[in-house]
Every structure is written in structure tokens, then in C-alpha cells.
Amino acid sequence: MNLVTIERHILEQQKLFPEASGELTDLLTDVAFAAKLVRREVVRAGLVDILGFAGTTNVQGEEVKKLDLFANEKIINAIGQHGRFAVMGSEENDGIIIPPKNETGNYALLFDPLDGSSNIDVNVSVGTIFSIYKLKGDDPGKASISDCLQRGSEQVAAGYVIYGSSVVMVYTTGNGVHGFTYDPTIGEFLLSHENIVTPKTGKYYSINEGSYAQFNEGTKKYLDYIKEEDPATGRPYSTRYIGSLVADFHRNLLTGGVFVYPPTTTHTNGKLRLMYEANPLAFICEQAGGRATDGRNRILDLQPTALHQRTPLYIGSEDDVIVAEEFEQGVR
């Protein structure tokens, strides 16, 4: 068997672009290393007293889990020390992070250190989501928040790591989507899902129906529609909702389906983070042949105005997302 490590695969991808400097290769290798550190603690979290709440809240006003803090710290330390990123942004930090050795880095990193962490105490899959941008200026020493507040279409790489029954890292650099499964016996991510293509339609829908009373009429009509019996359109769909975005997205990416987090009466602008969740997953989804919008506009075209900006999210198989959008827009 020809085993391909993530480092080898990234290098081979680099060869497709002769003008590439190799910097992005080093950046993705750094992210893979940080993921290994987080994975090591996630799998033994209950044994080292890092389960449960830390007694603080993050910038979102949410209770912070101990493992959130650990993952955030490990990623910042593991990646920041190499000087390849001039600026970073984390869902757990209010403002930008300037690494101590930022004079040589030409990129910005945005990341959610542990998506779905509210599920960690009950052994449900969680994940790390990341996004990489090229700096807008030529001087890394002058990197600022503007380098982070770029449209999703400006991403040069994005990916996620899902910590479940196995640990899988999925990434794109704009040339397809590739997945790697971690082999703990050799300590490497090995190519397991090459050139992922998501189906045009699926059979699953993922939405928190516990918030039904807070949905607008378009979303309510969509839910009624998706449950109706109609073999010609593959309905009814089956509900699959874990409550961990990265886990729900990963399943739908591979099997087909749609994930919907619409605006509600309590979160009129949506709840998911544009920079840390929606943009990177939208980049991956589109590269795999899927679609991602806020119900009206392409996610990757949205101009961010704040690091922790929120957005509705409709993401997954192209045809399924279009149907959900039509209900949101009142076309149906």
C-alpha cells in the first residue's frame, strides 16, 4: 500500500504551482502539528482534569470549557513560535493575536480551537476549524485587524480537524478537498479521502428544531416541506443533528445533505461566526462542489466588519441549499 502523509501530499500539491514559495506548505504542516497536540488531550480529557467548565466566559458570552482554553493555548503556542503567521485571530480571544516572532510571516490565521466543545463531556465529536489569508500589505510587522477582515473568497487555505472515533483532517488550498485520517501507531495523518466531491443532493437535513418557535415563516415552511412524502424529490429527508457544526458538516460533506442555522428571533443576524466557522467551511464546501450562503448571499462574498461577526448559514449539497434558500427568500 502506498501511504501518503499529509506533509507529502501538501508538498505534491505545491508542485502544481511552480511559482509557490513553500510558505503555505509550512503553514499547513504547522496546523497539522497543532492538531496532533489537541488530539492527544481530547482523547484523554477525562483523565487529566480538563473536562468541565473553566469558570469564565469568552468574548461571545459563552461559558468556556477547560479544553477550549487548552486547545486555544496549544494552537497559539505551537503555531505562533515559528513566525510564519504575522497575525492570528481566535474565537476565544476578543482581539487579534500578534505572535512574538511575527516579523517574517506573510499570512493571517483565524481559527476556532474547539468547535462543539459543549459536547466534549458526553464524548460527542468536536473539532478545530482554521482559515488562512495572505496579508494585504508587504510588512508583517504592520499586520493588523484589517488583514483578518478579508472576504472569504480571499482565503488561500482552510480546513478542519474532527476528533471522533477517528481523527480526520480535511483541507483545501483551492485545488480540491482532501481528507487525512490520523494513525496513532505512527503519529501521522494519512491520505484517506482524496478529491472529496459532495453529492448534488443528499438525504439528510441538519437543523436545531428545538428553536422552531423562533424561526421565521420561510424556515418553518421549509421544515414542513422537507418532511413531506414525495419519492420523486427524495422526500422526506432524515434528520441528523449532532449540535457540533464540524461533525454535522463533515457527515453531510461526505454523504450529501444540508446544514441550516437560520436567523431566529433571539439571533436575528444568525449565531455562527463568519470568520471562524462559516468562511472556512464555505471554502471547503464550494471546492467540493457544494454551496454556502446566508440564505440570500454567497458566504464567501460577505465583507466582514468585525472579528466575531455572526451570520446565518445554509451549507451543503448544492441543490438542497438552493431549495432552503428559496423558502428563506419567500420564493416558495
- Look up cell 438525504; give the residue: 203
Cis bond upstream, residue 100 (ω within 30): no
| Rounded-to-integer distance, Cα 64 and Cα 57, Å | 5
Residue 115 labeled ligand binder: yes
Q: Is 271 annotated as a binding residue?
A: yes
Distance CA 146, CA 203 (A): 40
- Strands across the sheet with 204-206, in order? 238-239, 204-206, 258-261, 313-316, 291-293
Tell whether 121 is in a known binding site.
no
Distance in angstroms (rounded) separating the CA atoms of residues 283 and 253? 12
Q: What is the DSSP string of 157-198?
A: EEEEEEESSSEEEEEESSS-EEEEEEETTTTEEEEEE-S---
Question: 224 a known binding residue?
Answer: no
Pairing mode, strands 155-163 and 167-172? antiparallel
Collapsed DSSP state (helix, strand, coil) of residue 102: coil
Does 116 show up as a binding residue in the annotation? yes
Q: Is 277 annotated as a binding residue?
A: yes
183 is in an annotated binding site: no
223 is in an annotated binding site: no
Chain centroid offset of residue 242 CA: 15
Give SS3 for 215: strand
Cell of 124: 460527542
CA neighbor of 85 nearest in space, from 118, 115, 109, 49: 109
Question: CA 12 to CA 3: how far, in whole Å?
Answer: 14
Residues annotated within a binding site: 91, 112, 114-118, 208, 241, 271, 277
Residues annotated within a binding site for substrate: 115-118, 208, 241, 271
Residues annotated within a binding site for Mg(2+): 91, 112, 114-115, 277
